Amino acid sequence: MDDRRIFAKSWQRWQLTCNWLMQGMILWIFFCAGWWWRPRWMLSSRAPAFIHSGLNAAITTDAYREVSFARFALVPFIAIVLILWALTFFRGTRPLLRDARLIWLVLLGGLVFWIWQSVGWAAENEAVARSQAAQWIIVFAFVVALSANGPAPRWIALALVGGMVFHAAIGITQSALQTELGIAWVDETLLGIGIDLYEYRLDPQRSGVSVIQADGIRHLRAYGITSHPNLLAGSLVMGLLASLWLWQEPRTRRVAAWVMVIGLWGLFLTFSRASVGGLIVGMGAIVGLWWLAGYWQTWAVKAVLTAVLLTGGAFYAMYHPLVNVRVGYGDEGASSLEGISVESRQVYLEQAETIIRDEPLYGIGIGNFPWVSHRMLRDDPRQLDLQGANVHRIYHLAIAEVGLIGGGLAALTLAAAGAIVLYRWRRGQLQAVTICLWGGILAWLAIGWFEFFPWVLFPYQIMFWGAMAAALMPATRSKGEFAMESIKLRSTTWQMLEPNENSGAAPPDRDDPRWQPVSLPLAGRPGPLWLMTGFIMPPNEHCATWWLETDAALSGAIWLNGQRCNSGDSLSPDTPLDITDRIAVGENSLILFLEQVPDGWQVFTCVPYACP
């Protein structure tokens, strides 16, 4: 028996270690997902043979194009996540199979399968199609692992926020210096391990560098660690919107203000119109969902709007000639860069519409739009001075590459996610942080009307679908799941309760300030639930007395493990945990786990929270 117990403890410790390593790597992936990071690791002989040989070939060859996705640092990071998940024996898979998210994953898997099938009818370059399809398969594997055993949405949001602040700081400094920072010296001089975290050469006078031009002066747009300012802008929008839940907590509002100012300033310095528009859409969606889900706080909404307006006003005061040019009212003082950009995008949009008319069901194959675009430009009698490129609209791009069938699968996948959100809202299970993640997703869908990166580029596919997987996580987890957190119901502010030594006493009068109201959903309608807690055992004895009472509209019966309990009973946390709703009752108090049953509320467990 002792040997079995030792083995069981060792096995539990092993799984716990693998679990924390896995979740830590997932958080690191979200932190750096917005970087255009392609290290030399996969060029070494230690990489798999087919990847090593392909990446060491000339970049113009099909051998290189077929494995070009492997250049991204996220590929080995995701491989580590999958290995660690396997070492936990695929922890979280069983609950996932019983969850509504399974439908969403099946639809996403169907989309990925169709994308892989499209390699067979690639119109121009099958090697590029295979590389793009491999990207989607890796994205799907990451999303499944994240859905089964990922960190709590709060931690994922914090990783996105941390990455946003770091990336915005780099972009702000680049704009101030009007050149790159030269961060490559960190590896070249100090580390020497081939991480290749570098910036593009950013000289505003060079051809090909993205600038804003006003009165004949070229001003460098912020790039960060990306290949284009619009990519930096998109990642900053996701992080900014993920940070809005910090305004809900009084102790984090000062941090939220600094995060907002840094993120907005970095975003504005990219001069990305689509991303600013997406930010407005995302903020509007978050405010609306906050109101519907009961998280509306007038002070917080006013504070966010004030921060946005003050930061935007200060930015316009400093950069108004550049802003005027960007919105079409200024004088560039030279050949119009804005006009060229608009005209080229219109050409690619016309090409996409032609492809959709010619190949409506199956499309031209994943990743093949730039190649078909190049052929169409070559055959165009207008002899336009353009190179083949992706159409800057993910909806046209998706249908052009994988047809109406693939586009329909993508739409069904998004619709399934929306249905899950609606279901959770009706049950009162939406969290403030997941609402903010959904704001980022909706912002990117809006940005996708003017950009292509959420569909094409691997880091941003990971960020988009990974954020969606995090936003779809249930508000609570069952016992044994490590990513557990309390949810705030109906904007109730809990006060710290003093320990109560009167174990046998009746609950105090309703006017006693220690009673706190909570609104819980009951058949789609909120009903008040009154709760008071207090300790009756010495500290760390893990036992407590609770009093629970409902109003006349609800039954006052409380059930524990199928047996009716009386108010004032002592409960132990050793009961099996099966959570539907969870109430956090402040520090040094209790957490009750409740489920609505026909006769009242069933108490599954109560545990001390931060015992004194």
Report which residue type is found at 141. Answer: A
Higher pLDDT, 356 or 192: 356
pLDDT, tens digit, 9 for 90 and up, residues 221-242: 999 999 999 999 999 999 999 9
What DSSP string runs through 481-548? Answer: -S-------TT--PPPPPP---TTPPP--TTSTT-EEEEEEETTEEEEEEEEEE--S-TTS--EEEEE
Q: What is the pLDDT of residue 336?
A: 56
Q: Cβ neighbours of residue 511 under 8 Å, at least 6 residues apart?
A: none
Looking at the predicted structure, is the pLDDT value of residue 555 above 60? no
Q: What share of the chain in percent tops pLDDT 70?
A: 75
- For residue 403, give both structure tokens: 């047809």
Burial tier of 166 (Cβ tally within 10 Å: 0-12, 13-18, 19+): middle
Report the mean per-residue pLDDT for the chain: 78
Over residues 42-66, mean pLDDT: 83
Looking at the predicted structure, is the pLDDT value of residue 545 above 60? no
Looking at the predicted structure, is the pLDDT value of residue 496 above 60? no
pLDDT, tens digit, 9 for 90 and up, residues 124-150: 899 999 999 999 999 999 999 999 999
Q: What is the pLDDT of residue 301?
A: 86
Higher pLDDT, 343 or 85: 85
pLDDT, tens digit, 9 for 90 and up, residues 477-492: 333 332 222 223 222 2
Please, what is the Cα angle at 418 between 413 and 422, to 5 degrees?
A: 150
Over residues 270-284, mean pLDDT: 95
Report which residue type is found at 332. Answer: E
Looking at the predicted structure, is the pLDDT value of residue 154 above 50? yes
Looking at the predicted structure, is the pLDDT value of residue 198 above 90? no
Higher pLDDT, 432 or 404: 404
Q: What is the pLDDT of residue 602?
A: 41
Over residues 269-283, mean pLDDT: 95
